[in-house]
Structure 1
Amino acid sequence: MTDEGAAPGMLRPGGRTARVRTAVLRAAEDALIECGFDGVDLAEIARRAEVGKTTVYRRWRTPQVLVADLLVDMAEQSVPRTETGSLDGDLRANARLVVRTLTDERQGVLFKAVIAAATTDQRTAEALHRFYATRIDEWSPCVDQAVERGEAPEGTDASEVVRAVSAPLYYRFLVSGDPLNETVADESAHAAACATRAGAYVRRSAR
């Protein structure tokens, strides 16, 4: 994103401005974890971050803009993909990372708060969609490389494969409440790998 036309709070400055952004985003994260989206009050965020209220209001304007910027930062700070040299290994690494994130005492609560906020606020929903799109783009090359190695059919939609790995995990996290652990992660990755090799995710145009 360039500075010109960028949303308030989403510039990428250095120096003191960067330190202020880091402090404010950390405070917003704490507020989400403790109180949910309703706890993201800009004046309270300024107090937590120990910065001036004017600075926070000028740069972020609304809680929705602040949460959107937090999601941008989360995407930027996320762990990069693991390349093991095999489709099964890469998908397993992806699934285990998702499970570690969702079961983390801090990150799991944060994700639930952000997802809940996204159900009622369009700006937050759009930011959440961008976050997941960023993560899918990060991991999709693993599938493309599997196609090149002959482990998956030509025309496989890499993005759909990555979604297939994490979808059952998020279902457990948000809906069923069933356990999330490495065994579940490995099962999800194995199922996605088998379906991929069988051609389940080959684009219609390639069939």
Structure 2
Amino acid sequence: MQSDRPTRAAASAASRPVGRGPKVRAAVLAATLTELAETGYAALTVDNVAQRAGVHKTTVYRRWQDRETLVVAALTEHIAADIPIPDTGAVETDLRLLARGLIGWATSPSGRAVLSVMLSDAIRLPEVAEARRHIFEDRVRRAAPVIVRAVERGELPGGTDPAEVVRTLAAPVYFQLLITGEPLDEAAADRAARIALAAARATP
């Protein structure tokens, strides 16, 4: 009887439905982002995502009804992707590190995948448009404390709008990334930080 226990345990484990755990969910969403980065939204299929994640496509369909809901889930999950929020004690260095973190994300495989969807015809889907709005609002919300602390330290004028400063910081980065195609490096990040800081200090 004792020798039969491992066999029974293995059979029980094998009989459990596939795709019920957080590891499988994470694998599928990561595979979705990778597929988006490599093939784009138009060419993305649930079959390819499932194959990359190492699961059967029925596992995917148990959680997400179609390609669109899968993509929205992957984008929404990515909202929590880490962009370090610095706290160096000086707004100039905080903004510089914040810009470098943004560039690091935007040029990473997952960041490129997210941005490729934002610029594709998928944005016509209300769910994808809403996910985009949440992503950028979350970026602003996460970075706002950098500006709030600078105001409290007297480095920026009282009444400075944190959201406006963060948008001013991000604007040159996205302009180079999406319009001019110029290299995004530390020099670009530092330049964006200087622009944002000058604009914040000039606020009446």
Quote the Cα distance in structure 1 between the aligned partners of 2:181 and 2:63: 38
Any residues of structure 2 matched to 1:183-198 within 5 Å, and which?
Answer: 183-198=187-202
Which secondary structure state, in structure 1, belongs to the residue aligned with residue 129 of structure 2?
A: helix
Q: Confirm or deny that 1:113 pairs with 2:102.
A: no
Quote the Cα distance in structure 1 between the aligned partners of 2:194 and 2:115: 26
AA aligned to 1:98 is L
2:47 counterpart residue number = 43
Residues paired across the two proteins, number: 185
CA contact (8 A) 1:165 1:189 kept: yes
Q: Confirm or deny that 1:26 pairs with 2:30.
A: yes
Quote the Cα distance in structure 1 between the aligned partners of 2:78 and 2:115: 14
Report deviation, 1:143. 0.2
Could you state the TM-score of these two structures normalised by the residue count of structure 2?
Answer: 0.83
Report deviation, 1:133. 1.1
AA aligned to 2:114 is F
CA contact (8 A) 1:25 1:70 kept: yes
1:54 counterpart residue number = 58
Which secondary structure state, in structure 2, belongs to the residue aligned with residue 84 of structure 1?
A: coil
1:157 counterpart residue number = 161
1:6 counterpart residue number = none
CA contact (8 A) 2:75 2:131 kept: yes
Report deviation, 1:52. 2.8
List alignment gaps of at least 5 residues for structure 2.
1-18
List alignment gaps of at least 5 residues for structure 1.
1-14, 201-207
Could you state the TM-score of these two structures normalised by the residue count of structure 1?
Answer: 0.82
Quote the Cα distance in structure 1 between the aligned partners of 2:78 and 2:111: 13
Q: Give the stretch that moved more between structures: 143-152 or 55-64.
A: 55-64
Report deviation, 1:41. 1.4
Give identity over the alignment, percent. Answer: 39
Report deviation, 1:70. 1.2
Any residues of structure 2 matched to 1:25-104 within 5 Å, and which?
Answer: 25-104=29-108
Which secondary structure state, in structure 2, belongs to the residue aligned with residue 132 of structure 1?
A: helix
User: Compared with structure 1, are the counterparts of its residues 169 and 72 closer, same or farther at alpha carbon in structure 2 (3 Å cutoff)?
Assistant: same
Mark the structure with the bigger radius of gyration: 2
Quote the Cα distance in structure 1 between the aligned partners of 2:21 and 2:42: 26
Q: Give the stretch that moved more between structures: 71-80 or 173-182.
A: 71-80
Quote the Cα distance in structure 2 between the aligned partners of 1:95 and 1:109: 16
AA aligned to 1:113 is S
